[in-house]
Structure 1
Amino acid sequence: MAILEKFAHLRGAYQELRSQGSDPFAVRFDRILSPTEGLRGSKRTILFGTNNYLGLTFDASCIEAGIDQLQQSGTGTTGSRIANGSYDGHTRLERELADYYGRAHGMVFTTGYQANLGIISTLVAKGDYLIIDADSHASIYDGARLGTAQVIRFRHNDPEDLRKRLARLPATGSKLIVVEGIYSMLGDAAPLREIAAVKAEAGAYLLVDEAHSLGVLGQKGRGLAEAAGVEDEVDFIVGTFSKTLGTIGGFCVSDLEDFDVLRVACRPYMFTASLPPSLVASTLQALKRLRTDPGLRARLRANSRRFHAGLEQLGFRLGSEPSPIVAVIQEDRDLAVAFWNRLLESGLYVNLALPPATPNGSAILRCSVSAAHSTQQIDTAIAMFAAVGEELGVLAPQPMAATG
């Protein structure tokens, strides 16, 4: 058998998807104009699929910090920190992250994916137990696959099922529970207070992936653990720079003693080239903006509520309470693909998520709201959803607004 023949089923599904219109896995923007707008050919397109929650990708101070460090330190490090050494920015970013979260230790990875891959696969080993939410992100599942601990899944956002599964485990071995602050597909938050209580009862450890909740939840924007008031019960917080902070990279913070031993135990950290100094500098400035400008979070919350309420009023089935992730659920896959294509043709870019990568086998038009979206852009996006929904028979025709 040819080496790629094993992917024949994927190739067939992909070709069928492309035959229905644009390729959702290869959307090309010829130019990005701002955090909320791009050009596809000559067509201006509103961006509602970028995770650019605070809109910091075009922040002047973040750009200036990156350019300055690019000129001072060059384009890259050309190796891992274990082999090539750390730059001042790497250690400063780790200190700033630890300080922001009120933790003793911080560790920076080259991507958010690697942060989960490395931390999860390293913390628990043979004889230990890794207990993960069934709807966990791919990076969490891949961390589980890379490690050697026994993996147990519990029902999504179900603390009682978690309790039952923990009760069945032997007293030996470490137990690590992994959940997410905000889940990336439906935008729902974990019941973290209840999960933290189960963790304490079982004598387990708790890791929270705050990738989509950093800068979104909590009085200081630290995420769900802060918002739920259970930061003291969370042993490890993992996150990414590629969403709220607008750059790339990942991190883990913790108070556990001997945390730094992970630097020589965690293979995805040891054997990956470290972040370029320019990206580190931009991330440091973005973190400063997050810490000193609460107005960014206020605008994000207001925009999220406005967009969610507008789609809800139209009659769409949505995935969760208002959050920056607004999932429009479609039961019919082909209808969802047609809907996504019509939105793109109209000048609105959202994400198309299809089974088996989605919860409950649903097709999802996944939208992400930014603090940088204007009220006009939000209302325009709602109107586009309404127009396509009527055209495809998803919505009943909307009544005409009164005039005169």
Structure 2
Amino acid sequence: MGDLFDKFDSVIAEKAALLATGVNDPFNLVMEKVHSPTEATVNGRETILVGTYNYMGMTFDPDVIAAGKEALDEYGAGTTGSRVLNGTYQGHREVEEALKDFYGTSHAMVFSTGYQANLGLMATMAARGEYIILDADSHASIYDGCAMGNADIVRFRHNSVEDLDKRLGRLPAEAGKLVVLEGVYSMLGDIAPLKEMVAVAKKHGAMIVVDEAHGMGFFGPNGRGVYEAAGVEADVDFVVGTFSKSVGTVGGFVVSNHPKFEVLRLVCRPYVFTASLPPSVVATAATSIRKLKHAHNKRQHLWENSRKLHSGLKAKGFKIATETAESAIIAVLMPGQEACARMWSALIELGVYVNMARPPATPAGMFLLRCSLCAEHRAEQVDIIIDRFVQAAEIAGIPLDA
């Protein structure tokens, strides 16, 4: 009789072979103590954090922390219930009001994670006989939401306006269609040509979702995301986002102006059948979102940090996934998995934490070290990161083009 774990033997063997080379385990790291949005103790060593998605540095904001403590004292540790039963407290309404104010929308719906927000929207909005059209590089939560539903799934080439147009043109004109885009793609840090893509989707009569998980907080005049910067707010039907990036806590949401939006609270299974977020979490989120609306100086500094790291690493001979700093994600390409792991391990030993990314999270055959900048990184920290990348490359035997 077969062991159900047998199907994972290749993964187990691959990891064992990697660790046998003597590198640190890139997928089992423990933050022993977190001191600030940019510094932690890892393996007993003071470490600069460059892989946490803490874009706006809100995790240690005094007002955010105070709001969480007050809600914990007043409402307790959790709700022990779904939003449609006993799990909606005053704080859940307040965070949804904060989202509506931030995005300028009529409706906002908060989920327990960003993953569930995508899972719920994709699985619910398109049914049998309808279509979801998505970028081939879409996030796993989008793909999983598609798998959970009954719609027909059509993929188009990453960021290809032409391919999106062609594939939409092949679908029945009368069928319901949902085009799913992301403002910032999290692996490479590249942004979608939303102005052109939204125009194509509208031409074919499709509704549009834009996932702004990695764009909220610092794209656009109000920090709403790439879709705001592209000037397509009036044409986007849904914006999906998360609290675990720029907002600095955990949770997910969908905002919309559609007049029938509120019915989703009754028909969206990941919303109906999940316990709601703890009161302390929604209190921190609401406070953070209100502050992000006016965080213009932080937005500017984050962009300065991103451009500095991108140009600095490129000047040292590293291969970067994008020609310029398109977002706060700087993806440094590596020649293979073992080289990538050696480089990651050397950086950890030098006191710099980044994300090691590999297939299936990345496109096939691509291995990279993903840096995500924070508005709280000081300029001198960015200089240190660049210097330690150079040292790590020498230790790991990674050739540079400089």
TM over 0.5: yes
Pair 1:64 & 2:66 matched:
yes
Question: Aligned to 2:318, what secondary structure does the other structure show?
Answer: coil
Range with greater deviation from structure 2 (341-350 or 5-14): 5-14
Question: 1:361 Cα shift?
Answer: 1.8
Cα distance change, pair 385–78 in 1 and its aligned pair in 2 (3 A): same
Is the contact made by 1:390 and 1:397 (CA closer than 8 Å) also made in structure 2? no
Structure 1 counterpart of 2:362, one-letter code: T
Contact 2:102 2:290 in 1 (8 A): no
Q: Matched residues in 1 for 2:348 and 2:87: separation?
A: 45
Greater Cα offset, 74-83 or 84-93: 84-93
Q: Secondary structure of the residue that 2:84 maps to in structure 1?
A: helix
Deviation per CA, 1:29-48: give whole Å up to 9, x if none: 21111111111242101111
**Aligned residue number for residue 13 of structure 2:** 12
Aligned to 1:354: 358
Question: For residues 42 and 101 of structure 2, what CA distance do their matches in structure 1 show?
Answer: 41
Contact 1:81 1:274 in 2 (8 A): yes
2:226 to 211, 215, 224: 224
Q: Which residue pairs with 1:149 in the alignment? A: 151
Q: Single out whichever of 13-22 and 350-359 deviates more from structure 2.
A: 13-22
1:231-289 C-alpha deviation (Å, 9 max, x unpaired): 11110000000000100000001111111100010000000010111111111111111
State the SS of the aligned residue for 1:184: coil
Q: Report the alpha carbon displacement of residue 13 of structure 1 after superposing the two structures with TM.
A: 1.6
Indicate yes or no: 2:262 matched with 1:247: no
Q: Which amino acid aligns with 2:139?
A: H
Distance in 2, Cα, partners of 1:276 & 1:145:
29
Write the mapping of 1:359-374 to structure 2, written as runs, cut at 5 A: 359-374=363-378
SS at match of 1:24: coil
Q: In structure 2, what is the Cα distance between the partners aligned to 1:57 and 1:166?
A: 41
Gaps of 5+ in 2: none
CA distance in 1, matches of 2:365, 2:100: 39
- Tell me how far 1:357 sits from its aligned partner: 2.2
1:300 equivalent in structure 2: 302
Residue in structure 2 matching 1:201, options 200, 203, 219? 203
Q: Give the match's secondary structure for 1:79.
A: coil
Alignment check: 8 A CA contact 2:69 2:280 kept: yes
Q: Give me the whole-angstrom Cα distance separating, in 2, the residues matched to 1:293 and 1:54.
A: 9
Which of 93, 113, 118 pairs up with 2:120? 118
Look up the equivalent residue of 1:155 and give its one-letter code: R
Q: Compared with structure 1, are the counterparts of its residues 396 and 143 closer, same or farther at alpha carbon in structure 2 (3 Å cutoff)?
A: closer
Supply the RMSD in Å over aligned alpha carbons: 1.3
d(CA) in 2 for partners of 1:41, 1:190: 38
Q: SS of the counterpart of 1:82? A: coil
Greater CA deviation, 18-27 or 262-271?
Answer: 18-27
Instruction: Count the aligned residue pairs.
Output: 398
Evaluate the alpha carbon distance shift between residue 85 and residue 348 of structure 1 in structure 2; reply closer, same or farther with a 3 A threshold. Answer: closer
Q: 1:278 to 1:152 in 2, by over 3 A?
A: same
Once the 2 structures are TM-superposed, how far is the Cα of residue 392 of structure 1 from its aligned partner?
A: 3.7
> Could you say what secondary structure the match of 2:4 adopts?
coil
Aligned mates of 2:154, 2:20 — CA distance in 1: 39
Q: Distance in 1 between matches of 2:85 and 2:9?
A: 40
Letter in 2 for 1:101: Y
The TM-score, its normalising length taken from structure 1, stands at: 0.96
Counterparts of 1:282 and 1:259, CA distance in 2: 25
Q: What is the rounded CA distance, in whole Å, between the counterparts of 1:396 and 1:248 in structure 2?
A: 38
| Aligned counterparts, 1:2-401, within 5 A | 2-20=3-21, 21-320=23-322, 321-322=324-325, 323-395=327-399
Is the contact between residue 215 and residue 222 of structure 1 (CA under 8 Å) also seen in structure 2? yes
1:355 deviates by 2.2
The secondary structure found in structure 1 opposite 2:245 is: coil
Task: Please state how far the C-alpha of 1:54 moved relative to its aligned partner.
Answer: 0.6
CA contact 2:316–2:401 (8 Å) conserved in 1: no
Distance in 2, matches of 1:356 and 1:122, equals 25
- Give the Cα separation in 2 of the matches to 1:61 and 1:347: 29
Q: Which moved more, 1:95-104 or 1:255-264?
A: 95-104
Task: Specify the alignment match of 1:401 in structure 2.
Answer: none
Call closer, same or farther: CA 1:221–1:13 in 2, change over 3 Å: same
The residue type paired with residue 258 of structure 2 is L
Partner SS for 1:292: coil
Contact kept in structure 2, 1:390 and 1:396, CA below 8 Å: no
CA distance in 1 between partners of 2:167 and 2:208 (Å): 15
Distance 1:73 1:396 in 2: 55
Q: Distance in 2 between matches of 1:6 and 1:72?
A: 48
Normalised by the length of structure 2, the TM-score is: 0.97
Q: Name stretches of at least 5 consecutive residues in structure 1 with no aligned partner.
A: 399-404
Q: C-alpha displacement at 1:396, in angstroms?
A: 5.1
| Bigger mean CA offset, 234-243 vs 8-17 | 8-17
Question: Is the 2:346–2:396 Cα contact (8 Å) retained in structure 1?
Answer: no
Distance 1:314 1:23 in 2: 27
Q: Is the 8 A contact 1:350 1:365 kept in 2?
A: yes
What amino acid is the match of 1:380?
I
Deviation larger for 169-178 or 244-253: 169-178
Partners of 2:216 and 2:223 within 8 A in 1: yes
Residue 386 of structure 1 contacts residue 395 of structure 1 at CA under 8 Å; is this kept in 2? no
